[in-house]
A = this chain, B = another copy of it.
Amino acid sequence: MQPQIIPNISVDCVIFGFDFETKSLNVLLIERFLKADEGNEPLVNDYVLTGYHTYEGETLDETASRVLKELTGLDNLYKKQFKVFGDPNRLMNDRDIIWAKNQNFNQRTITIAYYFLLQTHEVNLRNTEHKAQWFPVDKLPALGFDHKAIINEAYADLKEKSMYKPIIFELLPDKFTIKELQDTYEAILGTEIDNRNFRRKLITKKFIVKLDEKQVGISKKPSHLFMFSKDIYQKAYKENYLINI
């Protein structure tokens, strides 16, 4: 028996993936398609975030994790509930009205938006029944509902947090090079960073731990691998309130 959904409350998930090939911060979107009656243009043909209604008896965090798992098969990713979108007319552009009519929903719906962080290669797109695809966060396709706004707010939050919290490591593999770390920062912040100063600054942090390993299978000089120690970070910053406005 299907669990009962709460019709006016949903969760939408912005799935951010960092792609090390293209050094691009991407968002995972699914296709929304509705064929026209005759041989005309499709009525709806755009992309949306993955999301679904909350079930009775389920927490919002559980809804978000369930929705993520259904699309990607993944669990235990960094998850952040960052904002609620509840404007009365948030589902009111033309395509959305056609879509809503087709899907038989017409109530005002409030959506709790989450974002998740991972690397694009962690997701096997062929496994998904939806047509899911990665898009660079700065080259998004036409989006349904208010999902463009949701993505932009998620990105703004991620950008801000990445400047003062070690959230960026959620986008990196466990073992990474300083250059990869820098690439990720540059992609998120949209800036160029001097490589030598960046190295110095990061390598001197105690929570960036140098491993006894080097990159393999790389042409050019192979780089050392590092890891992020959450433990050391938390110990160091527990009692350390600094004003930095």
Interface residues of A (CB under 8 A from B): 6, 8-9, 54, 56-60, 81, 83-84, 86-88, 108, 110, 112, 162-166, 168, 185, 189-191, 193, 201, 205, 241-245
Contacts of A108 in B (CB 8 A): 6, 56
Closest to A112 in B: B84
Q: What's the nearest-Cβ distance from chain B to residue A73, in Å?
A: 25
Q: Is the CB of A243 within 8 A of B9?
A: no
11 residue pairs A–B, Cβ–Cβ below 8 Å: A6-B8, A8-B8, A59-B87, A60-B84, A60-B87, A81-B84, A86-B112, A110-B112, A162-B243, A163-B243, A205-B245
Q: A244-B163, A244-B164 are in contact. Are A58 and B88 (CB under 8 A)?
A: yes
Q: A6-B8, A110-B60 are in contact. Are A86 and B245 (CB under 8 A)?
A: no
Q: Is the CB of A163 within 8 A of B83?
A: no
Q: What's the nearest-Cβ distance from chain B to residue A222, in Å?
A: 25
Q: What's the nearest-Cβ distance from chain B to residue A235, in Å?
A: 15
Q: What's the nearest-Cβ distance from chain B to residue A140, in Å?
A: 22
Q: What's the nearest-Cβ distance from chain B to residue A58, in Å?
A: 7
